Chain A
Amino acid sequence: LSCVSSSSWLPQAGPSRGSHWQTSLLAARASLPARAQPKKKKKVDVKKEQAQKDRMKKKIRKLEKAAPEMIPIEDFITPLKYSESNRVRNLPPLSFEETERRVLLMKKWCLFKQNQDKAEKAAIQALVEAQQEALKELRLESEELYQAAIRRDEGLFPFERDGPDYTPPLPGYDPPEGKCVDITKVYTQ
């Protein structure tokens, strides 16, 4: 485009080269220094900036393509200071009676828990049976009430409740003040 425009100003004196428009460009640059220089700087800067941006974009794309680093699970890494030998407890070995007692206690516990579980399941079964009977009687009475009873209760879940503690709350208890500083490490991928 520019070569076409400058070809009209063919200089009189100038080395004749193969590409005549190149010489005309050079001459144009030399002949109009005042006007061309600020333009040159802007163009070159713009080109340089564009090249820089492209390089940055390429780098970003490369980083994104790379697989994300795994977040370390801190619970699974034992800190080295706990594998020192002076940490090992020295206790006397267990006697035969002690091991026997332990084994027998475990067996008793197994039985205890089994009975507890059976009792719980039986209780739940009894509850369900009572409810089924009640619903059957209700159905005999009126279908409309039965349908209303069967409908799901939306407000029931999520159901939250604080469990029982060891002692009841002390009225007028003033807990000691303190500050809790959270030092958990947060990892981002």
Chain B
Amino acid sequence: TAAAPRPWKLFGAMCLLRLPRITQPLEKEEEEMAALMEQIELEKSQYSDHEIRKLEEEEKLKRRKESMYDDDEVLGKTVIMAQDLEEKWEQKLLQFKPAPRITDADKNNNRTSLDRKLDRNLMLLVKQKISNQELWLLPQVEWQPGETLRSTAERAMAMFLGDHVQAKILGNAPYGIYKYKFPRAIRTEDNVGAKVFFFKAFLQSDDLSQAELKKDYLWVTKDELGDYLKSEYLKKVNRFLLD
């Protein structure tokens, strides 16, 4: 006899990722290889116009010093040497100050800001009340009949971040699932447990000032998830996260 279907409550959860904005630092082998590639490229190359000009001017300078030419030739025209140009370019580069790769948020370890850890993925975690317990979770909301699971996840995102969030949801299919049974006290024939389906989305806009963040939230990397999530939940979430 076929077992009767055990009804599980369905939840849709959204894993919102802020993609990295700067490149990760190179590994040791990568740096060595990059240096080697530059050397080989230099060896295989030929002189460029600028380098030839530089060599010729050096030759002229040397000849002038050795043989004491008449200075009239030189004083007549104001010659800009290639060396001077190079120095000018160096100066200009030194004047430019790029934005720092390690931001203030990094230094203060301000986990609610999006400017932290610019070279890694950041995920949104919110504090939710599940059966009298306040837990840190990926934003989730219960599924209502008549909508697809993807729209449930979108609703979850909108509930915590407001309607103006621009996020690109990656497809209609869920990426992971977390199944749990309710504690025996609450469990009934019709209400065994819950299944949480996770969806992934990329945050498009970096500006969340318009978003109304209602409750406690955090942006954390994959390594820091362990500080907040429970072990079983964390295991399932780690399965669909790339770092």
Contact = CB atoms under 8 A, between A and B. Distances in A.
Contacts, number: 122
B174 A149 contact: yes
B172 A134 contact: no
Interface residues of A, number: 42
Interface stretch (A33-41, A68-76, A85-93): A85-93
B171 A153 contact: yes
Interface residues of B, number: 49
A130 B173 contact: no
B33 A105 contact: yes
A80 interface: no
Interface stretch (B39-47, B75-83, B132-140, B225-233): B39-47
B239 interface: yes
Contacts of B155: none
Contacts of A170: 98-99
A167 B101 contact: yes
Interface string A123-135: 1001101110111
Interface of B: 5, 8, 10, 19-23, 27, 29-30, 32-33, 36, 42-43, 45-47, 52, 98-101, 103, 115, 118-119, 148-150, 168-177, 179, 195, 197-198, 202, 239-240, 242
Interface of A: 82, 86-89, 91, 102, 105, 108-109, 112, 123, 126-127, 129-131, 133-135, 137-138, 140-141, 145, 148-153, 156, 159, 161, 164-171
